[in-house]
Amino acid sequence: MATSGLVSVLIFIVVVLLICGLLAYLLRSAPFVDEPFKSWGVWAIMAVAIILIVVKLLELLGVSI
């Protein structure tokens, strides 16, 4: 039972990191966005990814948000 939960969390983490990595790559390679906004956007994307992963891990531990 716990193994299937861990596998689902690992799959979720991989999917979130792939999507956020793609978004960060697209943002960094966008020629119409100025440099300070690119770095802020990448940080925002990383923050959202970390929040999503932490919420999923807390759900695995039984904490309801």
pLDDT tens digit sequence for 10-22: 999 999 999 999 9
Task: Report whether pLDDT(61) > 90.
Answer: no
- pTM assigned to the model: 0.83
Spatial distance between the Cα atoms of 65 and 54, rounded to a whole number of angstroms: 11
**Paired tokens of 38:** 């690119």
Q: What is the pLDDT of residues 38-57, one digit of tens each?
A: 999 999 999 999 999 999 98
- Domain with 21, as residue range(s), is 2-61
Comparing C-alpha atoms, which of 38, 42, 50 is closest to residue 22? 42
Mean pLDDT of all residues in the chain? 91
Tally of structural domains, the chain: 1
